[in-house]
Amino acid sequence: MRDELIALAQRQVLPQACGHPFHLLPVELAQQTTGAGTTFLRWRKHDRSAMGVALWQELMASPSTPVNLLHDLHEIELQRVMLNMQISLLHTLGRQAQECASKAAQADNTYLRRLASVPAAVRDR
């Protein structure tokens, strides 16, 4: 599911945010892949010299940003926030599920090793 949300961001949110007239703005919405292997949407300067929501806030506050784009920029930011939250939650749940499965497998192996060392006559009582 996490990867499906990332694909949704790639197919729908990024093309909208990078299309006309948004590509004319001094900041862009872009993907950032983390060291943990997941991908989030981030605001950044075109030259990649700065990144973060503060860039979006500055864009919204700037008198040079056309008023007719403010609503769309707000909607894009809301989509970014929601997608990033969902991606983060699914990434965390997936990691926790893997850890749980690994611990359960260790418990099973420990239990089965112990049972294997007990004579069948004693074990079946």
Over residues 53-111, the pLDDT tens digits come to 999 999 999 999 999 999 999 999 999 999 999 999 999 999 999 999 999 999 999 99
The pair of three-digit structure tokens given for residue 43, joined into one six-digit string: 């605001």
**Please, how many CA atoms are within 13 Å of residue 32, restricted to the half-sphere of its CB?**
16
Q: How many CB atoms lie within 10 A of CB 41?
A: 22
> Taking residues 8-34, what's their average pLDDT?
90
Q: Which residues contact 36 (CB under 8 A, 6 or more apart)?
A: 91
The pLDDT value given to residue 1: 80
What does the alpha-carbon distance between residue 24 and residue 119 come to, in Å, rounded to a whole number? Answer: 77
pTM of the model: 0.80
* Mean pLDDT for the chain overall: 92
pLDDT for position 109? 97
107 vs 124, higher pLDDT:
107
Secondary structure (3-state) at 89: helix
Task: Answer whether residue 46 shows pLDDT above 80.
Answer: yes
Please give the pLDDT value at position 13: 87
Helix (H, G, I), strand (E, B) or coil at 29: strand
The pLDDT assigned to 45 comes to 97
Do residues 69 and 21 lie in contact, with contact meaning Cβ atoms separated by under 8 Å?
yes
Sign for the CA dihedral angle at 108, 114, 115, 117 comes to positive
